Structure 1
Amino acid sequence: MTNVELALSLWGLENTETTLIAERENAIYRVDTPLDRYVLRLHRRGYRTDAQLQAELAWMAWLDHAGLSVPAPVPSLAGPNLQFVSGTQVDILTWLDGKTLDVALLSLPLSQQCDLFFRLGQTMAQLHDTSDHWPSAKGCDRPHWDIDGLVGKDPMWGRFWDNPGLTPDEKALFLAFRTKARDHLTRLSATLDYGLIHADLVPGNVMCSADALHLIDFDDGGFGFRVFELATALLKHRWDPGYPAFKAAMIDGYTRTRPMNTNHFLLFLALRAATYVGWNITRADEDPTQTRNARFIAQAKELAVAYLERYHQVTRD
């Protein structure tokens, strides 16, 4: 039996139809039965500890119980949500139907696009409120998107200033940005809302249906600045003509439920963009043309320059 078949047997789902739908951090399969559909995750070895995955599953269960539309863990036949097959961590989640946010936006006029961002802001505020009320939140083992996790010696997603695609001038720029951003964050941190965040609410992780927004893929969820969550959700729309309206709608939706200090939003956009430059260092071989790496560098460079010019009177060369 394959690992997929062995994993399914632990949930009593033998002889079901499986389809590989993603393979990066984890191998993700859609599992179809005559009555239901599920998500099977085979986790990449060494990426998350057992304790971190158990915390993720417990967190999603809490959010689901509180009424958010997130994938909920499905207990195995033996009871635990997390199981092991040939040394690989495996779990099964409920399936959520819908279009990804980027696809949903394509067919809508600007006013309805803004409505979606307003709803997303509301949903993120609900996510943060509900997470703050989770009894196990403070002691759970999840990553930290804190100052060190963003601009420390070894950031969560890699040393962005060491990306081999950087020119010497770009490397110098990112090192200057890192220094200034770290100082800025150190001064600001006490004034910022910090707690559990999804940390990866890119358009592909927000599913839209007629009656709800569904938040999927909590793999990188952990503790972080709540404004970083909003910056992550908006970054890939930063160069869209509708961006100012999207940003206003999202912040409006969020702040109607929960206060948010967005005075330094540009800093968090630049920080989020820099994380992708670090993230791509170990994934450069996925794109032999290096087009993706060049795009990540260009976007982060633009935002880093804008941030330095606004806050530190640094002029463009």
Structure 2
Amino acid sequence: MNRSVRQALALWDLEGAEARLIAQRENAVWRIDHAGKSYALRFHRPGYRSDAELASELDWMAMLARSGLIVPRPVPRSDGGFIGRSEEHRVSLLTWLDGKPIGEVGRLAAGLNPRALSRAVGEEMARMHDLTDDWTPPQGFVRPDWRAVGLIGDDPLWGRFWEHPHLTSIQRDMFLRARKAAGRALERMDLDAGLIHADLLAENVIEHEGRIAFIDFDDAAIGYRDFELATFLLKFLDRDYYADMRAGLLEGYSARRRVQPEHLDLMLLLRALSYPGWIATRLDEPGGPARSDRAIQTALALSETYLKGRT
């Protein structure tokens, strides 16, 4: 256990706890075991989120947990605050949720029924959005805005995807034409928008004691609700059970909230376009070039399909 972890544990009076590093991505996440209880200790990447954004994320999670959604619950420090500092990192502590992810990298875990599982996920997404719309956030609440400007404006939140260094001139033109067409479509659509998780990949959806649970709210944002559904589906586009997953997700979500298939098609394109911008600054990371190629090819395929459907 390094010094930063020991300093962080002291903020929650958890000296002597066992600590294991379990994830090193945008944040470093340690599993903490102490006195028969388990926690997730997060070291937040410096410069990625402001104090207000982190506090807002935790406020939202706390509300969802109180309301019965299965999500990690923020744990207050001994002085009542939710955010601490250990050396150069801000840190937070969450309750640990036992369970297994439903899959990873666009592949469902063995033995799961794609349609039934996706229906359950859709129901929980809709429930999360219902609870959120009925909630009045505290003063000072702030999260990134991932609507039209944040997705396809001049400076998208995840970067100018059309300027990815590996694009050919033809590919760049394809992205720019898709961006323009998507912008026009967004102006015409009446879209449901609000606070969304924005990163419900299979790795962030787990089965916990027979129920669907959501973890990793780090990318929570103000965005389109159909974008939430598209994020879950995108990685499964090339699977033979994709149609079953899409049908199940729409069945589960539409039981509580409005969803339109044509809106979802646009959101799949917008979600795909975001990834080349994100990976462009991470090409030197392990696996970066391969992930970049996949992101570009997926975004190109959806761009071509979308543009053909509009001509």
TM surpasses 0.5? yes
Whether 1:284 and 2:283 are equivalent positions in the alignment is: yes
Cα RMSD for the two superposed structures: 1.6
Question: Aligned in 2, Cα 1:193/1:289: closer, same or farther, shift over 3 Å?
Answer: closer
Which runs of structure 2 are paired with 1:35-74 in the superposition (5 Å)? 35-74=36-75
Amino acid at match of 1:176: R
Deviations 1:244-263 (A, max 9, x none): 11101110000111122232
Whether 1:105 and 2:104 are equivalent positions in the alignment is: no
Structure 1 unaligned residues grouped into runs of 5+: none
Alpha-carbon separation, structure 2, partners of 1:288 and 1:38: 29
Alpha-carbon deviation of 1:140? 1.9
Question: Aligned in 2, Cα 1:229/1:309: closer, same or farther, shift over 3 Å?
Answer: same
What is the match of residue 299 of structure 2? Answer: 300
The normalised TM-score by structure 2 is: 0.95
Question: Aligned in 2, Cα 1:208/1:305: closer, same or farther, shift over 3 Å?
Answer: same
Alpha-carbon separation, structure 1, partners of 2:69 and 2:287: 40
Structure 2 unaligned residues grouped into runs of 5+: none
Question: Aligned in 2, Cα 1:178/1:168: closer, same or farther, shift over 3 Å?
Answer: same
The normalised TM-score by structure 1 is: 0.93
Q: How many residues align?
A: 308
What is the match of residue 265 of structure 1? Answer: 264
Whether 1:85 and 2:94 are equivalent positions in the alignment is: no
Q: Is the Cα contact below 8 Å between 1:100 and 1:204 reproduced in 2?
A: yes
Which runs of structure 2 are paired with 1:195-234 in the superposition (5 Å)? 195-234=194-233
Alpha-carbon separation, structure 2, partners of 1:255 and 1:278: 31
Alpha-carbon deviation of 1:87? 3.9
| Secondary structure at 1:59 match in 2 | helix
Amino acid at match of 1:80: G
Q: Is the Cα contact below 8 Å between 1:227 and 1:262 reproduced in 2?
A: no
Alpha-carbon deviation of 1:89? 1.0
Which runs of structure 2 are paired with 1:236-275 in the superposition (5 Å)? 236-275=235-274
| Secondary structure at 2:108 match in 1 | helix
Identity of aligned residues (%): 43
Q: Is the Cα contact below 8 Å between 1:137 and 1:196 reproduced in 2?
A: no
| Secondary structure at 2:53 match in 1 | helix
Deviations 1:92-134 (A, max 9, x none): 000111111116933226xx22111000000000010011111
Alpha-carbon deviation of 1:85? 2.0
Alpha-carbon separation, structure 1, partners of 2:21 and 2:242: 34
Alpha-carbon separation, structure 2, partners of 1:66 and 1:245: 30
Amino acid at match of 1:258: R
